[in-house]
Amino acid sequence: MVPNQTKSTSKELSTRRALLSARLVRKVQDAPRIGCTVVLALSDAASPTLPRTFDARHDDTSDESVGTETPPRFPKKSGPDSRRRPLWLDVAIPPSRDIRLLRPPSLPKGERFETFADAANIDRKNIARLMAQRSDLAAEIEKYEIELTPGTSAISARASGRFRIYDIAERLRIEEEYEGPHEIATIYLDAFSAGQLHAAEIVRAHGALRSKLKRAGFPGSILTGGTEAAWIEKHGLWILHCHLLAIGVPEEAWDRLRKSLPNAGPAVALKVQALKDPAKQLSYCQKFNSSHKPGKRLPNGKATMYRLPTARLIEWGDWVVNYRFEDFGFHFGARRRGGHIVPDA
């Protein structure tokens, strides 16, 4: 039975690829004869060739430069891809802030930044698991491999990797440019039982946290990071939380915030650590995990990571496809301007 099921799944995947490829060929044939930008895949080499949308000039003075070509519009679709080309795609990444060079592929898995091959392997496994029950979500992941437009949905590990390279570089720049105590904070936002992740509204959760920060005395500080939904198998809960770079926060402000946060149940309401290894710690500020850690921590302090159960993978996929990458970002004392995150101070 198992070999037959494997053969069937392989056949279904081949059929899906053929259909998507045919759709792409028709799209290209029907498109007007105008110039377009082809986005290159990330390289796994130790000194990777940067994708065209991240074509840095290998000069630290190139941080603020953006592409001069007129960016193409995304095809008209529902969801994140219905919006115009994101500005972050054209922001140059200098080598000094390129996480692929700071945490290179030569490091062991878990220490290196996720390579394109790592991300492609995650996508292949998720596609295979989704084909039987939710072929639409499987197709949503697979299209980022064959379509001309770069991915804007966190359901694809490859598309997520491209965004995180830019996102980490922005926080590394801010960390270098602004003085004050530099810390990493994990802040609990809310919890949702299995099947209820759709009720997690990022805008509302961010608004509630922003109000708490104002009352706790955070004005004048800088907090910037990302939002993640983590599945806790033992308790059957999704934990919505933020990982933030915090600059210039008074100790008493953390104390007031801790008292104002709701009961986090099995999670920790607030965890604050000193920033000691910017490249490593800031690379975790924004994650898009289709995995979880149900077991105990190993002697090295880490727990083994497993893929989400299929039902939870479907639930997570249905949730993330409704958002752009930028929607997951949380900023206090800073905001997005153009393709950059710019502190107000």
Helix or strand holding residue 341 (H, E):
strand 340-343
Q: Is the dihedral of CA 276, 279, 284, 290 positive or negative?
A: negative
Would you state the pLDDT for residue 304? 83
Would you state the pLDDT for residue 293? 83
Give residue limits of the domains in the chain: 2-169, 182-343
- Main-chain dihedrals φ then ψ at residue 19, nearest 5 degrees: -65, -45
Would you state the pLDDT for residue 312? 97
Q: How confident is the model at residue 345 (pLDDT cuts 50, 70, 90)?
A: low
The answer for residues whose C-beta is within 8 angstroms of residue 26's C-beta and 6 or more apart is none
Rounded CA separation 155/320 (Å): 6
Closest CA to 158 of 39, 294, 26: 39
Would you state the pLDDT for residue 300? 61
Asked if pLDDT for residue 3 goes beyond 50, the answer is no
Q: How confident is the model at residue 109 (pLDDT cuts 50, 70, 90)?
A: confident
Lowest-confidence pick of 81-90, 116-125, 143-152, 301-310: 143-152
Q: Which residue has the higher pLDDT, 145 or 142?
A: 142
> Could you give the dihedral angle defined by the CA atoms of residues 259, 226, 76 and 93, in that order, rounded to the nearest 10 degrees?
150
- Token pair for 59: 């000069």
- What DSSP state is assigned to residue 46? S
Contact 296, 282 (CB under 8 A): no
> Using one digit for the tens of pLDDT, what is the confidence trace for 33-74?
323 332 323 333 333 333 333 333 333 333 333 333 333 333
Closest CA to 159 of 223, 259, 260, 80: 80
Would you state the pLDDT for residue 263? 92
Which residues on neighbouring strands pair with residue 231, listed in sequence order?
A: 238
Helix or strand holding residue 332 (H, E):
strand 329-332
Would you state the pLDDT for residue 15? 52
Max alpha carbon distance in the chain (Å)?
Answer: 64
Strands (E), 146-292: 182-193, 222-232, 237-247, 270-274, 291-292
How many C-beta atoms surround the C-beta of residue 291 within 10 A?
Answer: 16
pTM score of the predicted model: 0.76
Q: How confident is the model at residue 119 (pLDDT cuts 50, 70, 90)?
A: very high
Q: Which residue has the higher pLDDT, 169 or 147?
A: 169
Q: Which residue has the higher pLDDT, 60 or 20?
A: 20
Asked if pLDDT for residue 295 goes beyond 70, the answer is no
Residue with tokens 């060739």: 49
Instruction: Tell me the C-alpha to C-alpha distance, in Å, between residue 139 and each of 6, 20, 128, 130, 326.
Output: 19, 8, 11, 9, 22
Q: What is the mean pLDDT of residues 294-302?
A: 65
> Using one digit for the tens of pLDDT, what is the confidence trace for 159-195?
999 999 999 999 999 999 999 999 999 999 999 999 9
Q: What is the mean pLDDT of residues 297-319?
A: 85
Contact 130, 141 (CB under 8 A): yes
Which residues on neighbouring strands pair with residue 342, listed in sequence order?
A: 335
Closest CA to 143 of 50, 63, 74: 74
- Token pair for 153: 């949905």
Asked if pLDDT for residue 149 goes beyond 60, the answer is no
> Using one digit for the tens of pLDDT, what is the confidence trace for 195-226?
999 999 999 999 999 999 999 999 999 999 99
Would you state the pLDDT for residue 297? 62
Q: Which residue has the higher pLDDT, 302 or 93?
A: 93
Asked if pLDDT for residue 87 goes beyond 60, the answer is yes
Average pLDDT, the chain: 80
Q: How confident is the model at residue 294 (pLDDT cuts 50, 70, 90)?
A: confident
